[in-house]
Amino acid sequence: MANGNNTSTASQKMAKLVVAEKRENGSYGFRQKIVPLDDVEEELKAAKEQN
């Protein structure tokens, strides 16, 4: 391959994360993000630290 990787980005497994955030007025907002499956744990830790 041109970039030297054995896996193509088209076949890489991805995960969709949905994070709920409680707002000051009591309602909830939701953010969603699609990340590589290998990065899920890091993204969850980062989301917990933001709250």
- pLDDT tens digits along 1-51: 455 555 555 688 999 999 888 999 999 999 999 999 999 999 989 888 876
Can you tell me which residue has the tokens 């969850």? 44
Task: Report the pLDDT value the prediction gives residue 16, as an integer from 0 to 100.
Answer: 96
* DSSP annotation string for 1-51: -TTS-SS-GGG--EEEEEEEEE-TTS-EEEEEEEEEGGGHHHHHHHHHHH-
Counting Cβ atoms within 10 Å, is residue 34 exposed (0-12), middle (13-18) or buried (19+)?
exposed
